[in-house]
Every structure is written in C-alpha cells, then in structure tokens.
Amino acid sequence: MDPRERIDQALEAALVRQGDAGTPPRLMAAMRHAVFPGGGRMRPRLALAVAAACGEDLPAASDAAAVAVELMHCASLVHDDLPCFDDAETRRGQPAVHRAFGEPLAVLAGDALILLAFQVLARDVAVAPDRMGRLITITADAVGLPSGIIAGQGWESEPEVDLSQYHQAKTGALFAAATMAGAAAAGHPHAAWGAVGARLGEAYQVADDLRDLAAKAEDLGKPVGRDAELGRPNAPEALGIPGAVKRLEGLLAAAAEAVPACPGEEMLKGLIKTEASRFLPKELARYAA
Amino acid sequence: MDPRERIDQALEAALVRQGDAGTPPRLMAAMRHAVFPGGGRMRPRLALAVAAACGEDLPAASDAAAVAVELMHCASLVHDDLPCFDDAETRRGQPAVHRAFGEPLAVLAGDALILLAFQVLARDVAVAPDRMGRLITITADAVGLPSGIIAGQGWESEPEVDLSQYHQAKTGALFAAATMAGAAAAGHPHAAWGAVGARLGEAYQVADDLRDLAAKAEDLGKPVGRDAELGRPNAPEALGIPGAVKRLEGLLAAAAEAVPACPGEEMLKGLIKTEASRFLPKELARYAA
C-alpha cells in the first residue's frame, strides 16, 4: 500500500473508533477538518520509512507511531493558527479550524487531537507494553517540556531566543520523534535515530523559511514573509539567502550520514536524498551548490 | 504524610523534572501559576484514597496517577478560563493564567500540562508497563473523546444538550478516572471503580451549580449564576433547588454503595460520607433531607 494511503486509513480508523457515538458532532467535524486533507504527511511517512528500515515486525505499532506524530502535528497547527498566535485565515487551502468552527472548538479540537494520539498508542501497542511506553515518552517529549513543539512556541513569548534552539523545538523535535518512534515501533533502540529526524526537521524549517520568502517577496533580499512580520527568528534573515541554502544542504547530508546501521540503511539514505530534492523552492535553485 | 502535602510534592517534582534547563521561563511560570496553589485537590485525593483502599503496593504509581488527574484538571481550567470560553478574570483567588501571562502562554500552558501528565505516567510507572498502559488509557479517555472533559466542553457548542451526559463528560469523567486510576495504580481491576467516581463527580457538579446560585442570587429561585448567564445546562435550573439537593444526596449515597470489595472498603465509604458533608453550600442546608 502507498504510505500516504496507509497513513490516511490509520488516521481515519483512529478518529472513527474514538469519535463514535457520544462525541459532540461539531467537535468531531472540527477534528476531521484539522486532519483531512492532510499536508505532505512528512512526519508519519518518515516514521513508517524508519520502521520499515528497521525490519518492521508489528505493523499496528508502526501505524500507531505514525498516527501519533501526525495527530500532534495537526494539533499544533490548529492551536498555532488561533487568533492569539498567527491568526491564520487558511490552512492547506481551506479555512483554518477557528474560522470554520469558531475559536472554542478550535481550542478543543487541538486538545482532543493530542489526547487521541495517546489513546491510539495505549490501545494499539498494548500487545508490546515496553514499546508502548517508549512511544508515549517519545511522543510526549516531542510536544511538551522541556524542548518539544510547545516549548518552541513558548520561546516566541520570551525576550531573547536562540535560533537553533527555537527551530529544534518547534519543528525538529517532532521530526526527531518521527524517526525515533519508527525505530521504537519496530523494537529497535531508538535514541540514535533522533539525530536523523532532528536534522531533517531543521532542514525542513530552513526550507520553509526560504519558501515563505520566495513566495512573498519581489525582492528576495527583503524579508517580508509572515515570520519576519511577526518578528520571529528566521534563517534567511539571520544568514542571508545563500547562507540559508548552504545550511539546508549541509543539514540534509548530515541527516543521511546519521542513519544508524539497520537492515534498510541504504534504502533509507536513498529516500532521504529523493525527498530532500523537493525541499528547496525552485525559485531559489540558482543558490544551490 | 498528609495527602495534600504528598500531592503537592509530587506535582512539584513533576514540574521540576520536565521543566528543567531548556524550558522557556515564562511558559514554566504560567504552568506553575496554573498548578499552585491548588484548589481542593479532590481528584488526586480520591485517587490516593482508592489506591490505599486497594492496598497500594507501588506508591510511585499512585503518585503518578494522582498527579496525572490533577494536571488534567488544571489544564482544563486554564483553557476553560480563556476569553473564548468563560473569559474568567480570576481563578482560585489569583488572576487567571491568560490574565497574568497572556493568551498565547495560557493556551500553551494548558497543552503542556496535558503532555506532562503522560510524561509522568510513562516514566514513573515504567516498572509496571501493564499498569502504565491502563493508566494512560484511563487518563486520556477522561479528557478526550468520546466522553471526556473536552467532549463535555464540546457539547456547549451544540444546539441540544443532554444535562446528564454533559455533566458526566465535563466533570464526572475525571472523577471516574481518579477512582479507576487509583485502583489501576495498585494493580486492581479498575472498571468497577468508575461508577464510584462518576457519581461523586456528578454530585460535585450539582453542588457546584447550587453554590454558584447561592453565592450570586438574592432570590434563590432566580437563576443568575454564571452558567445560567452563558445559557448552559444547570441542575438547579432544570430540577429546581429542592430537586437538585435531593439529586445530590442520592448521588453521594450511590457513590458509597458502588465501592467494590477491597481491603479498605469500610474506610473508604466513611471517607466519602465525611467529604460529602462539605458538598452542600450551607445557605442551602435547609433543603437537605
């Protein structure tokens, strides 16, 4: 099965099972709106790819790991789009959840998606309690304190921010969790996998900042993207465009190098290279090495 | 040790461990503000009392269970107080989190407290993975779909609400989780314990509605409390004051009757009666049987 199809089916199954009889219908609709149609599903695809590379022996655990990281990602987008943060009008080409369902249901939908991730892990990995415990810690740490997504968001309320620590928490942490969760779901030691995901996540964030800039600025030298508007730290702003592109390339190479020995090591390194070529906005290709 | 002191020490330990180096200081301060000083700590006290009644053999698991339900309660208050819900100015005699730290940090603090509950359970009950799995499911179900706190909140965005289902989800679910978690932490079958907590939780909510009314109305027959203002379902409004008092008394008796056979059965029934006498606002004592 195509990984994307597998991920969407597992997400659908999780929503249907927990959201059955008894759930307020509009809350359920808001959660669906947050999850479907998805974006690139990059984090769960990464989790599944790592699980496969580790010789996946418990597909339900890999599915649960992939679903958990994607639900956390969706939850973070819903809360990030709220009026008190980005006040986004749209997300993935449709109205943001709070625009479509109101702010109360957007807050609740984000909360409920976080909870759903743990409900899925606790139920679907119950056959392998040690793996379940590791998956829950990996997932919770990726979003919570001291250095998960929420900590990353929290840095936006501080007077001084370290660019690398901020990106690492806000984006890198969930990418690192995706790779670690894939390994843990397959019963492999997971710690060494964190570096692979963290580097991919940091690369993705740098690419995103570049894309933000390329899409919005007529003069690429002028920082007019949303992050700059909000006064947020931003790689192209800090390093200049050529510097940011160089950093992106270095991070992708480092991610491939960090792949630990596993049955599917070469397959996975190849996959990282293929995916990586899609990271750099084409308007900026002339800056590539 | 006094249960309240034990609970506060365990909460403090959880915040210190996860909130160490690396956490944005203002986010950490907002979380502390949400957790200390606490209210009655009724849910964690209930969890510890049930664990004791079941012959607690793993105090770290009981602590984790108590901490998890209290963190969920605190998180729900922080989000419930947000401008898009109750827009509360104060909570427990101090400014609400969003008033003291701003709305972004209030949203994030609530999220981070939810995550912290799972971080605590996964780490502190890792020695007994089966209990950990049960505790995670109990806790997540109490807050998430289909009938946890968030579902209860979600009903406020629906055109039609069933009073009993609403109270059960919004308050009863976490009380039910507290009793089930206490039993599960002690390695006892937990399902039968849900009824004890659910009844106590429903009684607590009815008492709260009565208190809300008694505190604010000159004419007790006139529903002017906050819930009525917001057009929410409310027991005194639906049943009248004498009917609501009768319901409260019936629920407390039913809670004591529902206590399953366990080493500390009589102790626990006595405790429920003692606590229960504090439920009814004294202004309404003349309505009691």
Q: What is residue B207's predicted lDDT score, i.e. its pLDDT?
A: 87
The CB density around residue A261, as the number of other CB atoms within 10 Å, is 6
The complex's ipTM works out to: 0.91
The answer to whether the Cβ–Cβ distance between A104 and B19 falls below 8 Å is no
Whether residue B151 lies within 8 A of chain A, CB to CB, comes out as yes
Q: Average per-residue pLDDT in chain B?
A: 89
Give which of B116, B128, B272, B271 is closest to B186, Cα–Cα.
B128
* Burial letters B79-98, b for 16+ CB under 10 A, else e: bbbbebbbebeebeeeebbb
What does residue A90 show for φ and ψ, rounded to 5 degrees?
-130, 160
DSSP string, A228-274: HHTT---HHHHHHHHHHHHHHHHHHHHHHHTPPS-TTHHHHHHHHHH
> Are the CB atoms for B265 and B53 separated by under 8 Å?
yes
Contact A224, A217 (CB under 8 A): yes
pLDDT at residue B218 in the model: 47
Give the confidence band of B230 by pLDDT, cuts at 50, 70, 90.
low
CB contact under 8 A, B107 and A107: yes
Report angle CA A184, A189, A192 to the nearest 5 degrees. Answer: 105
For residue range B188-209, what is the model confidence (pLDDT) as tens digits?
A: 999 999 999 999 988 888 888 8
**pLDDT for residue B57:** 97
Token pair 């940091």 is found at: A202
Residue with tokens 């790592």: A50
- Is the Cβ of A242 closer than 8 Å to some Cβ of chain B? no
Hey, which residues does B197 pair with through a beta bridge?
none
Cα of A242 to nearest chain B Cα, Å: 30
Residue B110 has pLDDT above 90, yes or no: yes
* Chain A CB within 8 Å of residue B156 CB: yes
Assess whether the previous peptide bond of A233 is cis (omega < 30° from 0): no
Using CB atoms, which residue from A22, A101, A154 is nearest to B27? A154
* Confidence (pLDDT) at A223: 41
Looking at the partner chain, which of A140, A155, A165 has a beta carbon nearest the beta carbon of B115?
A: A140
Which residue(s) pair with A94 in the sheet? A91
Contact B164, B224 (CB under 8 A): no
Report the pLDDT averaged over residues B236-242. 83
Structure tokens at B201: 């939780």
Measured in angstroms, the CA of B172 and the nearest CA of chain A are apart by 15
* Span B30-89, pLDDT tens digits: 999 999 999 889 999 999 999 999 999 999 999 999 999 999 999 999 999 999 999 999
B211: distance to nearest CA of chain A, Å? 26
Q: Mean of the pLDDT values across residues B259-266?
A: 96
Residue A104 contacts B where some CB pair is shorter than 8 Å: yes
Q: Kindly determine whether residue B130 and residue A130, on different chains, have CB atoms separated by under 8 Å.
A: no
Contact A151 B22 (CB under 8 A): yes
Q: Chunk chain A into consecutive blocks of 10 residues (it has 289) and report each block's average pLDDT, rounded to whole numbers.
A: 94 92 91 95 96 97 98 97 95 95 98 98 96 98 95 92 80 94 98 95 85 65 48 73 88 93 94 76 72
Query: Which among A72, A118, A135 is the top mutation candidate for probing chain B, defined by the most B β-carbons within 10 Å of its own β-carbon?
Result: A118
pLDDT at B231: 54
Q: Which residues contact B23 (CB under 8 A, 6 or more apart)?
A: A145, A146, A147, A151, A154
Angstrom CA distances, A248 to A46, A54, A110, A277, A284, stand at: 18, 26, 30, 11, 12
Q: Which residues of A, range 121-140, sit inside 8 Å of B by Cβ?
A: 121-123, 126, 129-130, 132-133, 136-137, 139-140
Cβ A33 vs Cβ A94: under 8 Å: yes
Q: Which of B100-114, B220-234, B252-266 has the lowest mean pLDDT?
A: B220-234
SS3 content of chain A, % helix, strand, coil (to 5): 70, 0, 30
B155 vs A contacts (CB less than 8 Å): 24
- Asked if the C-beta of A107 comes within 8 angstroms of chain B's C-beta atoms, the answer is yes
Sign of CA dihedral A235, A239, A245, A251: negative
Contacts of A112 in chain B (CB under 8 A): 144-145, 150-151, 154
- Strand, helix or coil for residue B90: strand
User: What domains does chain A contain, in order, with CATH numbers?
Assistant: 3-287 (1.10.600.10)
A47 vs A54: CA distance, rounded Å: 11
Strand partners, B94: B91
Q: Which of B192, B184, B198, B169 is nearest to B47 (CA)?
A: B184
- Is the CB of residue A74 less than 8 Å away from at least one CB of chain B? no
Per the CB < 8 Å rule, is A24 touching B136? no
Who has greater pLDDT, B170 or B127?
B127
Does A155 lie at the interface with B, CB-CB under 8 angstroms? yes
User: Nearest by CB to B145, which of A82, A105, A116?
Assistant: A116
How far A159 CA lies from chain B's nearest CA (Å)?
10
